A and B are shown apart, each in its own frame.
Chain A
């Protein structure tokens, strides 16, 4: 099955046909001016979905590079962090009548070639959210973090921190809410919110590239990691549900 938007230019809408299923890519970016142009061009070569780049108050030329590469840029006046920027993109997608949203990082880690694979379960209504999981990546620190997060939150997903996800319209609506604005990160809090809303979450293994600029926003400083972990673990414990009810919405990967 060719997902709508994947290199199929014959699917242009006519005025008489019902409104087509619309998919967009949301990409939060902070000071990614050097790489974002290439990342967007790679995506556009692979598919022709609308690309919304949410500029998280960058101080470099991220906006110019993304615009020149053909993305719609949503410029935040103040830095809201990766999740705040992603939520802006989700809200904008909702306002624009987008049905399915793919979230991707702007640093070139996520390959557009994996999009059809991730999109299929959502389009086939087998899942509401699909997470592109790559458990091979990351340092020992990241792996310890994953294990602790899974233990405290009770989430039985492989890659909790992956930003490569597909959300259907119901999931986008849930994540555009006020309650989701209270979250600082897109991992445990977001997944637990989706679970509490009864969304079916599936993780699928994907390949990820090393970052082009080579640096994670969180996993590069012990102080930031300590703060991030403390906050995430407390959040996970506070929202933890019974193991049976917390994992009944997890759809096992193939």
Chain B
């Protein structure tokens, strides 16, 4: 009976993953890994003898420990991968925030210099603003 329950839970999780992917709530790249885990969960649920067999091969006397420690290791690995991905997203988010701020300042400066040139009708730009004539040596910020 317990095998049936755990197998059904695995299948339900797999179906939920498919549903989330279908509704665009879960990115396919993440969904694939979770779908595989859910299917594995279902397989082990319907055929718990697999765990006993593998535990026998590797010399573990109490087979549930193998399933438990494998599951925990996978969870830790997944969490580590999530933090790596999060770090990457944080950096990208920060770079974008910085870029928006820089572009906003450049836009303001551009508007100010346009205003100045219209105001005095001399065509001169404000000397210290990026984008002005003085700024002929402008370089791009290379890493974006």
- Listed in ascending order, the chain A residues whose CB lies under 8 Å from chain B are 13, 19, 22, 50, 54, 72-78, 80, 84, 87-88, 91-92, 94-97, 173, 176-178, 181-182
Between-chain CB contacts (< 8 Å), 5 pairs:
A72-B105, A94-B139, A95-B141, A97-B130, A181-B94
Asked if residues B102 and A72 are in contact (CB atoms below 8 Å), the reply is no
Q: How far is the CA of A126 from the CA of B1 in the complex (A)?
A: 78
Asked if residues B102 and A182 are in contact (CB atoms below 8 Å), the reply is no
19 new A-B contacts, CB < 8 A, other than A96-B130, A182-B91, are A72-B109, A75-B104, A76-B101, A77-B97, A80-B94, A80-B97, A84-B94, A92-B102, A92-B130, A94-B141, A95-B140, A97-B130, A97-B135, A97-B138, A97-B139, A173-B142, A178-B91, A178-B143, A181-B95
Q: How far is the CA of A94 from the CA of B134 in the complex (A)?
A: 15
Q: Which residue of chain A lies nearest to B133 when distances are taken between CB atoms in the complex?
A: A15
Interface size range of chain B in the complex: 20 to 34
Whether a CB of chain A sits under 8 angstroms from the CB of B87 is yes
Task: Tell me the dominant secondary structure on chain A's binding face.
Answer: mixed
Residues of B within 8 A of A77 (CB): 97, 100-101
Q: How far is the CA of A76 from the CA of B87 in the complex (A)?
A: 20
Q: How far is the CA of A44 from the CA of B128 in the complex (A)?
A: 14
Given contacts A95-B138, A97-B137, contact A182 B87 (CB under 8 A): yes
Residues of B within 8 A of A72 (CB): 105, 109, 128-129
- Listed in ascending order, the chain B residues whose CB lies under 8 Å from chain A are 87, 91, 94-95, 97-98, 100-102, 104-106, 109, 128-130, 134-143
Given contacts A94-B141, A95-B138, contact A75 B105 (CB under 8 A): yes
Asked if residues A13 and B98 are in contact (CB atoms below 8 Å), the reply is no
Q: How far is the CA of A92 from the CA of B135 in the complex (A)?
A: 13
Residues of A within 8 A of B87 (CB): 182
Asked if residues B102 and A74 are in contact (CB atoms below 8 Å), the reply is yes
Asked if residues A88 and B101 are in contact (CB atoms below 8 Å), the reply is yes
